[in-house]
Amino acid sequence: MSRTPDTWILTADCPSLLGTVDAVTRYLFEQGCYVTEHHSFDDRLSSRFFIRIEFRQPDTFAEQEFREGLAERVAAFDMNFELTPPNYRSKVVIMVSKADHCLNDLLYRQRIGQLPMEVVAVVSNHPDLEPLARWHGIPYHHFALDPHDKAGQERKVWQVIEETGAELVILARYMQVLSPELCRKLDGWAINIHHSLLPGFKGAKPYHQAYQKGVKLVGATAHYINNDLDEGPIIAQGVEPVDHTDYPEDLIAKGRDIECLTLAKAIGFHIERRVFLNANRTVIL
């Protein structure tokens, strides 16, 4: 991540109109804000404009006055904007099952400060990973899944999300399909990771299936969840070449590594406010 600790993040989107860049950057100049990073994109197919700016504040900076002044300036563009203060750490709930590689990787990246987030809870349908969460001082909630009362289990999950004030939910190899109701609640702020062998190799032992077919690439996809299983807006993808010398266990090992890297990249994009939803696609600035 390139963001420095002392910068604010300003993100905005609106219909494609003449003067959008000027409206934002001129206002920052007038307020004495120094721009350290600036990216914008205009999607000609959807006629939608997106902008992300990092800036340093002047000594006289007043956040509320800045917000009010910016809202007045961009009202004519029907522009939605978000302002994120320096050193902000997003509150995160991680959902897991039994596989520990993604959880372990994310907790390590949080610990060393690579991902500016605060994991406020780990939720699982199995007790296996509680020692890992406890070692990091993070509350662990084990909600066993009753196949006859899935709604009851999901209500407990949602209660944790609400009570912790989580802004992001990460499905770090959570091996259960969420209900349409929970998917709707989490639409746009829950990230899932899965191997790239879908939809070609579904079901049990996908890497063994891929080995039998002689695949030459394995990889992973991180995406926002929605009610279309594994088909939400894609944030990041990664691939790793394999060949005839790689056995199923080698494919599995490479798959684990690329899942960790791809999920971490997607989370970094999200918490640094680099991801914009544009229908079922994403814009990454």
Residues marked active site are found at 230
Contact of 245 with 202, CB cutoff 8 Å: no
Structure token pair of residue 50: 């997106």
Q: What is the dihedral of CA 59, 60, 64, 66, to 10 degrees?
A: -90
Query: What are the CA-CA distances from residue 144 to residues 97, 123, 141, 176 (Å)?
Result: 10, 10, 10, 11
The neighbour count for residue 121, using CB atoms within 10 Å, is 21
Which DSSP state fits 58?
A: P
DSSP, collapsed to helix, strand or coil, labels residue 201 as coil
Distance CA(245)–CA(108), nearest Å, equals 31
Distance CA(267)–CA(222), nearest Å, equals 9
3-state helix, strand and coil shares in percent for the chain, rounded to the nearest 5: 35, 30, 35
Distance CA(10)–CA(273), nearest Å, equals 8
Distance CA(203)–CA(225), nearest Å, equals 19
Q: What angle do CA 111, 115, 117 make, to 5 degrees?
A: 80
Distance CA(155)–CA(166), nearest Å, equals 15
Which stretch of DSSP H or E encloses residue 240?
strand 234-241
